[in-house]
Amino acid sequence: MTRIKRGNVARKRRKKILNLSSGFRGSSSKLFRVANQRIFKALQNSSHDRKNRKRNYRSRWITRINAATRASGLSYSQFIYRSKESQVLLNRKIVSQLAVLDKDTFQQLVHFVNAPKAHKPLQN
């Protein structure tokens, strides 16, 4: 059997990993074995943190809505329950933007949600 030299392919693979680890400190950016482990861990963390970012945004929206509704004399959970009951189809992101940027519209929304209903819709 003939000998197969992998010089070009192996060098490309190692260079790819070392280029990805270019900003790391110490041997994590210089040595292939260490860099390979650090890149694997970094890609795992970035995937995990993309999920966490969505959680963080949602909790931030909820905190803003809670602060704004408490200023109006209503708790967050009561506001969400009554808005679903009165069929308001705004998500938390939009409601939190209203609470921060357009306080008058948010107050109107709170009064609309908080107003007693004359009659409930019939459900079959």
State how far the Cα of 17 lies from the Cα of 89, in Å rounded to an integer.
47
pLDDT in tens, 55-68: 999 999 999 999 99
Would you state the pLDDT for residue 5? 76
Q: Which CATH class is domain 26-114?
A: mainly alpha
Contact 74, 110 (CB under 8 A): yes
| Residue 79, pLDDT above cutoff 90 | yes
Look up the pTM and report it: 0.73
pLDDT in tens, 39-51: 999 999 999 999 9
Would you state the pLDDT for residue 117? 73
- Count CB neighbours of 60 within 10 A: 13
Q: 114 vs 46, 78, 81, 111, CA distance in Å? A: 42, 9, 10, 5
Residue keyed to tokens 């709170």:
110
Backbone angles phi, psi at 30, to 5 degrees: -110, -40
